[in-house]
Structure 1
Amino acid sequence: MKMKKALILMLSCFMLICLSACNGNSNSNNSATGNTSQSDAQQSQKNTSNEPSAAANAEADAAPQGLEPLDDKPRKIVVSILAATDIYKQAKEKYEALHPNTTIELKEFSTTGGGVISASEVEKYIKSTTTEVLSGKGADLFAFTTVELPIDKYVNKGAFENLDDWINRDAGFDQQQYHMNIMDGSKMNGGLYIMPVEFYLEALYGDAGGIKKAGITIDDKNWTWSQFAEISKQLAGKNGHTYSMGFLPPEAMINNLVSDNYNRLIDGANGKASFDTPFFTELLTDVKEMYDEKELSGDAVEFTKSYLYYSLITSPSDYLLRLGMYFKDGKVYQKPHAAEQKSGISFLVTNQIAMNANSEVKRDAWEFMKFLLSEEMQSAGYSGFSMNKAVNEKAIEDVKENGIDKNVAAKGGGASAEATDENLEVLRDMLSEASLRNIGYETTVQKIIAEEVKAFFAGQKSADAVAKLIQNRVTTYLNE
């Protein structure tokens, strides 16, 4: 056997978000295993020295050139965005006040004036943005929120600037101020092409008392999906708990496994896919068996019927709410990973920005990107965790002193865990250790998989038939 904000009011959001982390690597004979996804490599600076010696060349390569200072010449930075949020409107106003020579143009696609955006309008936005990005023209910066865009394709086509270069060259970019672990975990193709601006954590909340009573020990710092499968078999149906984990749709489960084995199944750079293989069909059949045997459930079952629940964590208040709401003796467990994948806390980015590789105002665009990460802007009302460490620490200290946010508390009917040093230290550790990025809701590949596997899990098509459909659709997409 091999092998994912679950409040009732937020279940529909889960269905969209709970798919998969992006950069898995290949590996192993076990179907539910894979190699680590996140590359630690950074782009090397080009050697500009004319000296012939190897020592001189190495020294030139190792020394970043630095950034030229900003000047007073008129500049316009165009930011492409579906619909300008209050945060971006504030950023425009404040940045222009600090830099009178610079104009920030928020190029909005939506014409709804802040209202509900229709599905057809979103589809037009995706097509329009993809055409603009891949043409190398258009906006200087592209701001992405929760709209599903083929970001993997943008990166594979070299449309975005590698921000590692700017970070390394900018002496004013103090890496100690930011969650560089989130940036490192967001790298694709060996570089940071999408700058995270805001993120959520992923975790499993568990009934620690019930799990202990069942005689099960979970080493969540090291457990793999295969071990999760074995533990699920042991937990299901014990001590009044019907399932080991509830409200995890099978298409979300399969996309977790696909994500952790991403590079084994998808070679985006060369337009190749490997879904019509025994490896993938085994993943399908193994996952289906877990649902058939009632080890997992895709339904929103009562908390008391399950030992574990997948959940997003959006803030210190949200973390404490869930810790006290789901189980009387609740505990946060790290989400499993593939056998050869580096262990770590999972996260997803809900707000991010990229720089057009062909922008003519890169120096100024980089300065605006930095401004979005500043303590001033990161304190302006984002809905998730900040990339700025000081902002997160302030939020943690606030719940310790004043209790959880009233609006958050209302969602749980008053149930929450105490803001003790012990509980809050767990959250601090999660923030500092998060390293495995889930970008499932950003990738068209994951959407294709989620759509096609439903027929298999419903017993309407065979695993081989579904695998071939996915293979054909993904291959077509990768080569468009």
Structure 2
Amino acid sequence: MRKQVWVVLTCAALATSACGAGGSGEAGGTSNKEKPKNKDGKTVVTLSLKQPDPFFQTVEKKFEEKYPDIDLQIQSYKQPGEKWEGGDFEKYVKTTNTALLSGKGPDIVELSDLPVDKYVHGKLLVNLNEVFDQDKSLKKEEMNLNILDGLKNKDGGLYTIPTSFYLRTYIGDGDSIKKANVKIDDANWTWDRFEETARKVREKEGGGKAKRPVFADDPGVILQEIIMDRYGELVDPATMKAKFDSNSFTDLLKSIKKMYDEKVMKSEIAEGETALFYSSAFLTLQDLVAVPYMYFSNPKLLQKPHAEGKKGGIRIIPADEFGVQAKSPVKAEAWTFLSFLYSKDVQSLQDLKGFSLLKEVNDKKLDEIQKQAKAGTFELPAGKTANVSDEQFNLYKELIQKADSYSAFDIKVLSIINDESRAYFSGQKPAEEVAKLIQNRVTTYLNE
């Protein structure tokens, strides 16, 4: 489970009658294009998915029952049962890029794992911020608005919205932290402060035993986690310029390698051994309660370290991110669908991935788990027991409602970093050479 998807990887704009006609990339009503109709005179709205999803088939049926004048047509890159083979994802990205650039693609686009920054920079997506604010049908006081606020770019634009979301936190050994009497201010810690704190906990364990590693994972995974939080520093979304040939990046490489050289971190640990901290993605509310006990009998949920000058927080991983193509002739209808995704009718569906955007839905599920925990019927990992207090359940709800840490990143850039950094961590190339290779490859990619 420690190698859980770290990235479980990952609109419309338009409006209400109060919105005027919008230009490319702006919120507004209909464009100058004529709205497409089917043979029955219904307005056609197209939605693209990477592959078929029964959840969205159910949503499509419910949506068309509520809005009989709209024909939602779902398109999938992959056919049912078709597997993803080598090179398929690159072809999918290229196909999506071409469709968005031409303005002839689907109205609503699934953007999970796609280069959203490139699309925003090219004005290919609608800024949904204004239309979301003006939509009176949404009961915003009932929503986890912290999630959508976290997804806004630094200029306040909201170009993608998720159907739901996952969370990622650090999990610490609560007993070791308490024994070491080390105060952890995880709301304000940077990576450097985390390292300093973790070393103190490790040193104070004592007992003459070999010191436990702070983390047990590949150095490339640690690097990627840090890069995800600092992505905006290394790739400027406004200019699409890379900065991997900077001293700060080479210093980061060196600091990570030093911890592995000193055995503070390890790629692998012996059977039965545990690290002091783990990074974990929670894909369900059941995970949020149960997974920490896989590692420790007294787990402590902690915010992830963040870049200097940035705010801390629980990291958001959007699920099923959607955006609206800037040249869509049915922006208003597209928004009607995206707004429908936040209805209780959809957010309460059993097949909804991850956590709901509605507070009530999450709270209800957590209350059910709490009752099961008290009755001793909640399933923990095999062989594990736990006494989950009421206070802990209150903490879970608080974590969900405060989660707002998100930094958009390009999965292709992360792939390049992972490919090239191996040579440094294995001692084959110096940090400066690897940084230059990454800089050149990323720059070439961003200019494509």
Check whether TM > 0.5: yes
CA distance, structure 1, for counterparts of residue 271 and residue 212 of structure 2: 10
Counterpart check, 1:252 vs 2:242: no
Counterpart check, 1:82 vs 2:47: no
Normalising to structure 1: TM-score of the pair?
0.81
Deviation at 1:434, TM superposition (A): 0.6
Deviation at 1:385, TM superposition (A): 0.7
CA distance, structure 2, for counterparts of residue 247 and residue 354 of structure 1: 37
CA distance, structure 2, for counterparts of residue 306 and residue 251 of structure 1: 17
Query: 1:207 matched to which residue of 2?
Result: 173
CA distance, structure 2, for counterparts of residue 389 and residue 314 of structure 1: 17
Partner-residue secondary structure (3-state), 2:405:
strand
Query: 1:454 matched to which residue of 2?
Result: 422
Q: 1:429 to 1:466 in 2, by over 3 A?
A: same
Query: 1:122 matched to which residue of 2?
Result: 89
Query: 1:424 matched to which residue of 2?
Result: 393
Counterpart check, 1:17 vs 2:17: no
Identity of counterpart residues, as a percentage? 34
CA distance, structure 2, for counterparts of residue 279 and residue 246 of structure 1: 22
Deviation at 1:18, TM superposition (A): 8.4
Point out where structure 2 has 5 or more consecutive residues left out of the alignment.
Answer: 11-17, 21-26, 31-39
CA distance, structure 1, for counterparts of residue 74 and residue 383 of structure 2: 40
- Among 80, 95, 106, the residue aligned to 1:139: 106
Normalising to structure 2: TM-score of the pair?
0.86
CA offsets per residue over residues 347-367 of structure 1, 9 Å max, x none?
211221111111111111101
CA distance, structure 1, for counterparts of residue 185 and residue 210 of structure 2: 21
- Among 397, 412, 416, the residue aligned to 2:367: 397
Q: Could you tell me whether the CA contact under 8 Å between 2:142 and 2:358 is conserved in 1?
A: yes
CA offsets per residue over residues 5-55 of structure 1, 9 Å max, x none?
52xxxx2x43x5289x9xxxxxxxxxxxxxxxxxxxxxxxxx999xxxxxx
Query: 1:360 matched to which residue of 2?
Result: 329
Q: 1:90 to 1:353 in 2, by over 3 A?
A: same
* AA in 2 matched with 1:178: M
CA distance, structure 2, for counterparts of residue 241 and residue 327 of structure 1: 19
Q: Could you tell me whether the CA contact under 8 Å between 1:195 and 1:352 is conserved in 2?
A: yes
CA distance, structure 2, for counterparts of residue 367 and residue 414 of structure 1: 48
Query: 2:34 matched to which residue of 1?
Result: none
CA offsets per residue over residues 243-269 of structure 1, 9 Å max, x none?
343333212222333333333322233
Deviation at 1:373, TM superposition (A): 1.7
Partner-residue secondary structure (3-state), 1:436:
coil
CA distance, structure 2, for counterparts of residue 288 and residue 175 of structure 1: 46
Q: Which moved more, 1:418-427 or 1:194-203?
A: 418-427
Matches within 5 A, 1:146-165: 148-165=113-130
Deviation at 1:285, TM superposition (A): 0.6
Query: 2:441 matched to which residue of 1?
Result: 473
Q: Which moved more, 1:159-168 or 1:172-181?
A: 172-181
Query: 2:182 matched to which residue of 1?
Result: 216
Query: 2:33 matched to which residue of 1?
Result: none
Q: Could you tell me whether the CA contact under 8 Å between 1:185 and 1:437 is conserved in 2?
A: yes
- Among 175, 178, 192, the residue aligned to 1:226: 192
- Count of equivalent residues: 423
Counterpart check, 1:195 vs 2:161: yes
Matches within 5 A, 1:312-461: 312-380=281-349, 381-403=351-373, 409=379, 412-415=381-384, 417-437=386-406, 439-440=408-409, 442-461=410-429
Deviation at 1:400, TM superposition (A): 1.5
Q: 1:333 to 1:202 in 2, by over 3 A?
A: same
CA distance, structure 2, for counterparts of residue 48 and residue 141 of structure 1: 19
Query: 1:44 matched to which residue of 2?
Result: none
Q: 1:401 to 1:235 in 2, by over 3 A?
A: closer
CA distance, structure 1, for counterparts of residue 89 and residue 139 of structure 2: 37
Deviation at 1:203, TM superposition (A): 1.1
Q: 1:273 to 1:17 in 2, by over 3 A?
A: same
* AA in 1 matched with 2:280: S
Point out where structure 1 has 5 or more consecutive residues left out of the alignment.
Answer: 22-46, 50-64
Q: 1:396 to 1:360 in 2, by over 3 A?
A: same
CA offsets per residue over residues 123-169 of structure 1, 9 Å max, x none?
22121112112332210001244xx3222211221111111011122
Give the root-mean-square deviation of aligned CA atoms.
Answer: 3.0
Deviation at 1:408, TM superposition (A): 8.9
Query: 1:29 matched to which residue of 2?
Result: none
Query: 2:141 matched to which residue of 1?
Result: 176
CA distance, structure 1, for counterparts of residue 202 and residue 288 of structure 2: 26
CA distance, structure 2, for counterparts of residue 351 and residue 256 of structure 1: 21
Q: Could you tell me whether the CA contact under 8 Å between 2:372 and 2:378 is conserved in 1?
A: no
Q: 1:84 to 1:144 in 2, by over 3 A?
A: farther
Q: Which moved more, 1:123-132 or 1:263-272?
A: 263-272
Q: 1:115 to 1:395 in 2, by over 3 A?
A: farther
